[in-house]
Amino acid sequence: MSHFGSYDDRAANFSWSIAEKELEYTPGGVINIGWYCTDRICENGSGDKKALIWEGTGAQSKSYTYNELRVATNTIGAFLRNLGIQPEDRVCLFMDRIPELYLGFLGVLKIGAVAQPLFSAFGEESLFVRLDDARTRAIITQRKHVGKIRKIIDQMPYLEFIIIVDHDRKKELREREIPFWLDDARPVEMLDVHPTKAESPSVLHYTSGTTGRPKGVQHVHYSLISQYLTTKWVLDIQENDIYWCTADPGWVTGTSYGIIGPFAMGATQCVQDIGFSAENWYRWIEKQKVTVWYSAPTAIRSLMKAGDAIVKKFDLSSLRHLASVGEPLNAEAVIWSQRVYGLPFHDTYWQTETGSIVISNFPGMKIKPGSMGRAFPGVTSAILDLKSYEPITEPGRVGLIALRPDWPALMRGYWKNPETYAKKFVNGWYLPGDRSSIDKEGYFWFAGRDDDIINTAGHLVSPFEVESALLEHPAVAESAVVAKPDDVNMEVVKAFVTLKPGFEPTDDLELDIMNFIRKKLSSLAMPQEIEYVESLPKTRSGKIMRRLLRAQEWGEEIGDVSTLEND
Rg of the chain, C-alpha, whole Å: 24
Which amino acid is located at 250 in the chain?
G
DSSP conformational letter for 42: I
The region, left, alpha or beta by phi > 0 then psi within -120 to 50, assigned to residue 173 is: beta
End-to-end CA distance of the chain: 58
Check: CB of residue 152 under 8 Å from CB of residue 129. no
Check: CB of residue 269 under 8 Å from CB of residue 244. yes
Residue 212 clears pLDDT 70, i.e. is over it: no
Instruction: Name the pLDDT band for 45 (thresholds 50, 70, 90).
Output: very high
- Cα–Cα distance, 566 to 554 (Å, whole number): 22
Number of domains in the chain: 2
Judgement on whether residues 429 and 464 belong to the same structural domain of the protein? no
- Cα–Cα distance, 421 to 439 (Å, whole number): 30
- Cα–Cα distance, 150 to 355 (Å, whole number): 32
- Helices 66-83 & 99-110 angle (0-180, nearest 10): 60
Last residue of a domain, one of 408, 436, 464: 436
Which of 316-325, 338-347, 522-531 has the least mean pLDDT?
Answer: 522-531
- Cα–Cα distance, 464 to 544 (Å, whole number): 11
Q: Judge whether 82 lies within some domain.
A: yes
Nearest alpha carbon to residue 193 among 306, 317, 30: 30
- Beta strands of 224-291 (E only): which ranges? 242-245, 268-273
Judgement on whether residues 363 and 476 belong to the same structural domain of the protein? no
Region 464-468: what's the mean pLDDT? 83
Full-model pTM:
0.88
Highest mean pLDDT among 29-38, 390-399, 453-462: 29-38
Judgement on whether residues 278 and 180 belong to the same structural domain of the protein? yes
- Give how far Cα 229 sits from Cα of 8, 21, 22, Å: 16, 11, 9
Nearest alpha carbon to residue 118 among 207, 218, 212, 221: 207
* CATH code for position 348: 3.40.50.12780
- Cα–Cα distance, 131 to 313 (Å, whole number): 45
Q: Judge whether 561 lies within some domain.
A: no
- Cα–Cα distance, 216 to 207 (Å, whole number): 7
Judgement on whether residues 282 and 144 belong to the same structural domain of the protein? yes
Q: Judge whether 349 lies within some domain.
A: yes
- Which three-class secondary structure state does DSSP give residue 70? helix
Instruction: Name the pLDDT band for 211 (thresholds 50, 70, 90).
Output: low
Instruction: Name the pLDDT band for 368 (thresholds 50, 70, 90).
Output: very high
Judgement on whether residues 209 and 326 belong to the same structural domain of the protein? yes
Judgement on whether residues 326 and 289 belong to the same structural domain of the protein? yes
Judgement on whether residues 122 and 221 belong to the same structural domain of the protein? yes
Q: Judge whether 445 lies within some domain.
A: no
Last residue of a domain, one of 436, 466, 501: 436
One DSSP character per residue, 371-413 reads --BEEPTT--EEEE-TTT-PBP-STT--EEEEE-S-STTS--E
Alpha carbons within 13 angstroms on the beta-carbon side of residue 505 total 11
Report the sign of the C-alpha dihedral through residues 329, 421, 481, 556, in that order: positive
Q: Judge whether 567 lies within some domain.
A: no
Q: Judge whether 370 lies within some domain.
A: yes
| C-beta pairs of 438-441 under 8 Å, 24+ apart in sequence | 438/383, 438/395, 438/396, 439/368, 439/371, 439/395, 439/396, 440/395, 441/374
Nearest alpha carbon to residue 150 among 115, 170, 175: 175
Strand 90-94 and strand 138-141: pairing?
A: parallel
Angle subtended at Cα 223 by Cα 217 and Cα 226, rounded to the nearest 5 degrees: 125
The pLDDT of residue 3 is: 56
The three-state DSSP-derived secondary structure of 508-543 is: HHHHHHHHHHHHHCCCCCCCCEEEECCCCCEECCCC
For the stretch 240-295, pLDDT in tens is 999 999 999 999 999 999 999 999 999 999 999 998 999 999 999 999 999 999 99
- Residue range(s) defining the domain that contains residue 550: 454-554
For the stretch 139-190, pLDDT in tens is 999 999 999 999 999 999 999 999 999 999 999 999 999 999 999 999 999 9
Residue 46 clears pLDDT 80, i.e. is over it: yes
Nearest alpha carbon to residue 196 among 132, 279, 278, 110: 110
Check: CB of residue 241 under 8 Å from CB of residue 51. no
Residue 444 clears pLDDT 50, i.e. is over it: yes
Residues facing 346 on adjacent strands: 323
Q: Judge whether 279 lies within some domain.
A: yes
One DSSP character per residue, 424-461 reads TEETTEE--SEEEEE-TTS-EEEEEESSS-EEETTEEE
Phi first, then psi: what are they for 201, rounded to 5°?
-65, 145
Last residue of a domain, one of 377, 407, 436: 436
Nearest alpha carbon to residue 505 among 497, 494, 495: 497
Judgement on whether residues 387 and 500 belong to the same structural domain of the protein? no
Q: Which helix (H) or strand (E) holds 65?
A: strand 61-65
Instruction: Name the pLDDT band for 4 (thresholds 50, 70, 90).
Output: low
The three-state DSSP-derived secondary structure of 309-331 is: HHHHHCCCCCCCEEEECCCCCCH
The pLDDT of residue 548 is: 87
Q: What percent of the chain has pLDDT over 70?
A: 96
Judgement on whether residues 138 and 23 belong to the same structural domain of the protein? yes
Check: CB of residue 223 under 8 Å from CB of residue 356. yes
Q: Judge whether 559 lies within some domain.
A: no
- Cα–Cα distance, 519 to 450 (Å, whole number): 29
Judgement on whether residues 402 and 509 belong to the same structural domain of the protein? no
Q: Where are the alpha helices (DSSP H) in 46-174?
A: 66-83, 99-110, 124-134, 143-152
Nearest alpha carbon to residue 153 among 134, 133, 174: 174
Region 79-100: what's the mean pLDDT? 98
Q: Which burial class, exposed, middle or buried, applies to 340 when counting CB atoms under 10 A from its CB (0-12, 13-18, 19+)?
A: middle
* CATH code for position 489: 3.30.300.30
- Cα–Cα distance, 411 to 179 (Å, whole number): 34
Check: CB of residue 320 under 8 Å from CB of residue 291. yes
Q: What is the mean pLDDT of the chain?
A: 93
Judgement on whether residues 40 and 81 belong to the same structural domain of the protein? yes
Judgement on whether residues 321 and 390 belong to the same structural domain of the protein? yes
